[in-house]
Amino acid sequence: MTLAVRDRYAPWNTGTWHLSADGDGSACERVPRPADLTLDAAHLGSVHLGGRSLSALVDAGLVQEHTPGAAARLDTALYVPRTAFCGQVF
């Protein structure tokens, strides 16, 4: 899975990243190739914390899917049974 990430708060994160994983581990590396998805780092964070699905963000026009089914595949890979919880009010 390859993601083109935009990050206005930490511009050094902006770029195209390839994610890979198997039963032995995972890796993330910057690559010079076309992306399956284009998204903002904030959207990636919300999905990672369980607040939203990438598929819903694609439907809302906030994430661009360049490879059909890429959002659904990453939704499956990032799935956690319980969303993050913080008992503090900010």
Is it the case that residue 17 has pLDDT exceeding 80?
yes
For the chain, the structural domain boundaries read 2-78
Cross-strand partners of 39: 5
Its pTM stands at: 0.84
34-86 pLDDT, tens digit per residue, is: 999 999 999 998 888 877 899 999 999 999 999 999 999 999 988 877 777 77
> Which residues neighbour 55 within 8 Å (Cβ) at sequence distance 6 or greater?
71, 72, 75
pLDDT reported for residue 78: 84
Give the C-alpha separation, 57 to 35, whole Å: 16
pLDDT reported for residue 86: 76
As its CATH architecture, domain 2-78 has 2-Layer Sandwich (3.30)
**Selected residue with higher pLDDT from 49 and 25:** 25
